[in-house]
Structure 1
């Protein structure tokens, strides 16, 4: 099969022929019909993830059809249309048994712990615990955005964030996960203020339901103040959807009394938080890490009714040959919306 491979961290990637994967016992091989280009993949290529063994094939946000299954798989057969959560669980550890597969003690992640979906085929382990069936009406392109960014945003807003109608929600960083959070919060009846440095990203955020927007480039040094002004005292719920020290700090400082900060973007180098606000304002600081396969039905139901439109987040499609340049470019700026890779189709961004 063809796949995007890198031999060294931070060094050029190339597209080459590699051996086809075979299903492990209890696992499956998925023919990748669409896979998202995500900033998490950039973090992996940069060497920020200790699980990666070189050479490596990145990619973790995928949708496709089951190509083959290993011994012991009970619920899936070749041809089934599926997607996969960002976090693939073992299904047997204490965290999984209590329903918290997103923090599985033996979690695996295609594109990190083993070769991923920037390829024509990808292996997935523990298929019965991790594969999610796709409705016939949902395209692979739409489904490819669900496993990481959209599902992560859904759990961050609805699960960890406990959003309620009428609350103000601030979203710092309007890339794929941030725009997903804007759409989800608005669909839940919240009032959303979107924050980004890109006019195009803010334009999309308004399209997806943001009531107010803050241009972080124009308000450098006073982003949190701008959010507090727009929300009449601060957000009830604020998310750092980018994963940068500035956006994380701005998110915490954007909160009103007893507000909730949810960290969604990765912070590999850590951050110094304004903890002086934590006690007097009784703030909550929460993390959100993907979403378990068994939690998908609520999100899928909202997609089926049209309350959520993840398809509108997809702004471009590229082929495998375009991936090396597109992945490297994420180090300087995330594109507005979601870029989807179609490994079996010769698509060019040119």
Structure 2
């Protein structure tokens, strides 16, 4: 089968013929019908994240936002069936550790990052193996388009978990979203659907215009203000109630924290680059004196995907609204490389693999 393979960091992915996967006893093979091209793929292609043991090895098939059709299951699989359409989370869990047993499979003690670990070849391929399929293959509602659901494995469910589960977000609260890439635009759309007033922050007008389409009430262009936190605070009155760093660089992290009012909550979704390597200086004293919370948010439990599905069914959420274009597998290497300049608006989705 054809797949996009990482041969050397920073060099174009190679479209290669590789062996088709075979299902483990507890696994399933999924024919990939769509896979989002996420900024996290760019991080892996660059060779980032060795500081959190998530740097993909050379020879890795990238891709971690898949939706597709189950074509084969292992002997021990009980709930997933051939022919089902499924989404697959990027943070694959074992279903057996204490966190999984307590309903926190998104922070599984033995998590395997799809497309980043040798044990979990990714979804820029015609077929994908899903380990512990009864836990990690999430059946999709009937009639949905796989392209629309491709982001559920990463950007969309990550933003949903951060705002709906991790933050204490109420209707009418002010939410600032710093960085309007795929996960940031998803956060804008979700915050709006949850009844918040949304301020989108970025330095590219086209991304801010897209944020307005998705429900942003106000926008801040970083290039047009000398002080981003002051601009956000002025728009929100006494500061944002919840602020999201959806990019993961030092400036967006600090700006997000300083945009908050008293008792505000900062939600960190973006992971850092080679420049920060996981370490960012934050305004500790201000956080103490204003009782500001710093909240990490990582993926989402597959057992809670139905919350998103119900909102989609009722027209309150539309994951496809963040999709910018569809591409074929041969275009994936160039699309990832183009993320060097942060110009991508929304999420490209690969939906042609053969």
TM range, normalised to the smaller chain?
A: over 0.9
1:217-268 superposed Cα distances (whole Å, 9 cap, x missing partner): 222x411111001111210000001111111110000000000000000024
Tell me if the contact between 2:84 and 2:139 (Cα under 8 Å) persists in the aligned partners.
yes
Q: Which residue of 1 aligns with 2:137?
A: 131
Q: What is residue 209 of structure 1 aligned with on the other side?
A: 215
Q: Does 1:222 align with 2:240?
A: no
Q: Distance in 1 between matches of 2:238 and 2:329?
A: 47
CA contact (8 A) 1:27 1:125 kept: yes
- TM-score, normalised to structure 2, is 0.95
| Residue from 244, 247, 254 that aligns with 1:249 | 254
- Map Cα deviations across residues 169-208 of structure 1 (whole Å, 9 max, x no partner): 0000111111111111111111000001111111111111
Q: Deviations over 1:4-43 (max 9, x none)?
A: 0122222221111111111112011110000000011111
Q: Is the 8 A contact 1:171 1:195 kept in 2?
A: yes
- Counterpart position of 1:233: 238
Matching residue within 66, 76, 92 for 2:70: 66
1:155 aligns with 2:164: no
- Give 1:334 deviation, angstroms: 4.6
Distance 1:198 1:338 in 2: 16
Residue in structure 2 matched with residue 5 of structure 1 by the alignment: 5
Q: Determine the C-alpha separation between the residues in 1 that align with 2:173 and 2:82.
A: 45
- Unmatched 5+ residue regions in structure 2? none
Does the residue aligned with 1:342 lie in a helix, a strand or coil?
strand
Structure 2: distance between partners of 1:204 and 1:5: 32
Picking from 118, 122, 126, the partner of 2:128 is 122
Which residue is equivalent to 2:36?
Answer: 36
Match of 1:326 in 2: 335
- Within a 5 Å distance, the mapping from 1:43-192 to structure 2 comes to 43-49=43-49, 50-51=53-54, 52-113=56-117, 114-192=120-198
Residues in 2 aligned to 1:338 and 1:140: alpha-carbon distance in whole angstroms = 14
Q: Distance in 2 between matches of 1:231 and 1:68?
A: 52
1:264 aligns to 2:269 (yes or no): yes
CA distance in 1, matches of 2:309, 2:81: 21
Q: Which moved more, 1:8-17 or 1:47-56?
A: 47-56
What TM-score does the superposition give when structure 1 sets the normalisation length? 0.96
What 5-or-longer segments of structure 1 have no aligned partner? 346-350
Alpha-carbon contact 2:7-2:14 (below 8 Å) kept: no
Q: Distance in 1 between matches of 2:174 and 2:186?
A: 16
Report SS of the residue matched to 2:109.
coil
Give yes or no for contact 2:2–2:353 (8 Å, CA) kept in 1.
no
8 Å contact 2:93–2:111 — kept in the other structure? yes
Partners of 1:277 and 1:257 in 2: CA distance: 9
**Do 1:118 and 1:343's aligned partners in 2 also have CA atoms closer than 8 Å?**
no
Once residues 111 and 343 of structure 1 are traced to their aligned partners in structure 2, the CA distance between those partners, rounded to angstroms, is: 18
Comparing 41-50 and 56-65, the one that deviates more: 41-50
Q: 2:351 aligns with which of 335, 342, 345?
A: 342
Give the C-alpha shift of residue 137 in structure 1. 2.3
Where 1:31 maps in the other structure, the secondary structure is strand
